[in-house]
Structure 1
């Protein structure tokens, strides 16, 4: 595997560590600064908004200027966002703090292109392994992010949360230096005369439709149930250490399979791996519906993580088979926009959903969406199935 892919895996780990660090403290800071209850999650909502806003422009910018320029700009947005968020926290200004999280959201949105950059740095036969390796960086982030949130509590005398933003600033500095050192692929602008299909033409391809749906539903359902799990466990009298353990194993379920998902795709095909991911998501819902004990949540969340891994990595690989080189910015950009919009809705609906539908109703709500993706992938015709 080329050196640049390993470098992008480390960059992905740094990005996700910063994301986990930010998620760990943003709602708590919102609660501290908010003057009304609806404002508590405003910084988190602004972070998602920044992520979504960045996805389409980032893909087109990188096609014009190259991956390195795009990633450097993304990290600069992250540095600026961390500094502004810190100033908002110290000035006790929710608006300024939310502006900072919006800018860090842009950085996170740009960084979602790391896995596509890894594809361009290796041969076609290594694509599945490259995607898996970059996503495996999440294992490192599962260790760095939460621990940095804990260690940084004593770094600033004014606020126990201010140190987190010094840590976030440091992560973006390291990521920026790493990106500057990596020999990333040059820009590949569309040549005069090259035809680029419209979104309507592109989405008439069953393979593209299935790939985008798999990424959207896999990510959206994962975020929905993951975000609702602590609320459900608290309602059923589980203590915080048990909840933390369930979420930790969920994160491991999300990223540990990345070490062999690429091998599974090469051996059994992308189509089958996505179908297995849908089966794991369905099994997770079944386990969640079967009881409220610790081990129900533990197994349910572990299966949810594995299901997300197979559907998301499989969807990314399937997506690369559905467009021509001149169309990559258009397809990658709209895919990221739709996938992370679904994730944002999952996050925002989780709290309201658990109150309106309950834990059982929320899992039942997830089932038909998973079955829809299963059907779309299953119905890929013979030629597309072979390609996948």
Structure 2
């Protein structure tokens, strides 16, 4: 639910500033990158007979504080958009552009979650400490959100398609590092590259979603996008642990390469079709 705030922020600015608004909201996750893993480290064994119970209580208190902050935010309502009916969702989702965006969003987020969930378990299997895996996750989360301060401007200058393509290249580099070894520094570098890539891909795909609907259709299209993307993330999370336990970290990395290649091919074809259509309209 928290990720839907990015679309709410886009409603508060002019159209040309929407990628910037998306990325700045995502930048708030930088605080989570520091507070989250450190909270786990300092609270996980405070109640020795119930490991992690204090961590869950601390996380619940953070959610209460966040809810209190949100009570003071007034998001503008677009009454005209609410009254106007848009196209049926079944028609909207058949747009090639939206299909490409959904495919890229699913691959970007599911791959990130698939590798991020597996990495700490793989570190434990290799005998690395829990503190080491917490630190790796901390740097991963920082890398996920730190680029948000400039991702919006990057999208405005280079275009969302190219920014998503940069994400896929970074994810490929992350997987290559995962193949290279299983020392702690391999996991650190793998997760940092994965985090940077996720930011470019997720913010870029979110910006592309804004181009796939009319104002009156925004709520249904954005909700459908997040339902599909986050639903795939849940499936990837469930699959990662079982695959890791049965086949190991190397197979996890090998499986991740396939959807990256699919997404790269989809983006290149989409951009080519867009240029071809533009040429047809101008000829």
TM-score (ref. length: structure 2): 0.88
Matching residue within 100, 104, 107 for 1:214: 104
Give the structure, 1 or 2, with the largest relative contact order (CA under 8 Å, sep 6 or more).
Answer: 2
Q: Deviations over 1:36-77 (max 9, x none)?
A: xxxxxxxxxxxxxxxxxxxxxxxxxxxxxxxxxxxxxxxxxx
Aligned residue number for residue 235 of structure 1: 125
Matching residue within 16, 21, 25 for 1:134: 25
- Please state if 1:124 is matched with 2:15: yes
Relative distance call for 1:172 and 1:264 in structure 2 (3 A) is same
Quote the Cα distance in structure 2 between the aligned partners of 1:235 and 1:167: 28
Matches within 5 A, 1:122-201: 122-149=13-40, 161=52, 163-164=54-55, 166-186=57-77, 188=79, 190-191=82-83, 194-199=85-90, 201=91
Aligned residue number for residue 369 of structure 1: 259
Q: Per-residue deviation at 1:147?
A: 3.5
Matches within 5 A, 1:293-304: 293-304=183-194
SS state of the match for residue 195, structure 1?
coil
- Please state if 1:307 is matched with 2:197: yes
Quote the Cα distance in structure 2 between the aligned partners of 1:154 and 1:198: 48
Q: Per-residue deviation at 1:239?
A: 2.7
Relative distance call for 1:239 and 1:167 in structure 2 (3 A) is closer
- Please state if 1:290 is matched with 2:180: yes
Matches within 5 A, 1:1-388: 109=1, 111-149=2-40, 161=52, 163-164=54-55, 166-186=57-77, 188=79, 190-191=82-83, 194-199=85-90, 201-381=91-271, 384=274
Quote the Cα distance in structure 1 between the aligned partners of 2:117 and 2:202: 18
TM-score (ref. length: structure 1): 0.65
Aligned residue number for residue 281 of structure 2: none
Relative distance call for 1:248 and 1:161 in structure 2 (3 A) is closer
Quote the Cα distance in structure 2 between the aligned partners of 1:157 and 1:376: 50
Aligned residue number for residue 82 of structure 1: none
Quote the Cα distance in structure 2 between the aligned partners of 1:251 and 1:282: 18
Q: Per-residue deviation at 1:379?
A: 1.4
Runs of 5+ in structure 1 lacking a partner?
1-108
Quote the Cα distance in structure 1 between the aligned partners of 2:55 and 2:131: 22
Q: Deviations over 1:335-359 (max 9, x none)?
A: 1111111111121111101123321
167-176 vs 201-210, greater mean Cα deviation: 167-176
How many corresponding residue pairs? 276
Q: Per-residue deviation at 1:287?
A: 1.3
Q: Per-residue deviation at 1:311?
A: 0.8
Q: Is the Cα–Cα contact under 8 Å of residues 280 and 306 in structure 1 kept in the other structure?
A: yes
Relative distance call for 1:170 and 1:355 in structure 2 (3 A) is closer
